[in-house]
């Protein structure tokens, strides 16, 4: 019975000992330039396509006007994340914003065919 108690005590001691957790990384995540470039290309392609469609489909004129701001919005978010006074939180939010805008460009591009755009 004593060997079993010793083993049980060793298992409990091993499981319960407090090992310090690694502190969270303070390094600010950098969005790769290739990801930024792909996002800008996707949004520029969407703007070109929706604005070309606005010439033949009158309902797309408003979408064209709104779409023109998307590449600029990406540039603003990238500038915020690259700022010297940007906190880790600022960078994370700016990166999330870029990805959200790119997602919107891709999804809206996919919807153009249903709207009657070539």
Percent of the chain with pLDDT over 70: 78
How far is CA 70 from its chain centroid?
Answer: 14
Rg (CA), the chain: 25
Pairwise CA distance, residues 103 & 118, whole Å: 21
Residue 71 predicted with pLDDT over 60: yes
Pairwise CA distance, residues 100 & 97, whole Å: 5
Count CB-CB contacts under 10 A for residue 74: 23
What is the average per-residue pLDDT within 48-63?
A: 92
User: Which of the pair, 97 or 5, is modelled with greater confidence?
Assistant: 97
* Global confidence as pTM: 0.75
- Report pLDDT for 12: 62
């Amino acid at each position: 019975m004593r060997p079993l108690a010793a083993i049980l005590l060793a298992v409990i001691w091993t499981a319960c000992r407090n090992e310090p957790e690694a502190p969270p990384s303070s390094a600010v995540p950098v969005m790769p330039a290739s990801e930024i470039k792909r996002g800008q290309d996707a949004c520029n392609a969407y703007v070109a396509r929706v604005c070309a469609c606005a010439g033949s489909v009158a309902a797309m004129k408003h979408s064209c006007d709104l779409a023109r701001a998307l590449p600029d919005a990406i540039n603003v978010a990238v500038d915020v994340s690259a700022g010297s006074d940007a906190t880790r939180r600022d960078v994370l939010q700016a990166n999330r914003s870029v990805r959200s805008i790119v997602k919107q460009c891709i999804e809206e591009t996919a919807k153009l065919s249903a709207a009657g755009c070539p």
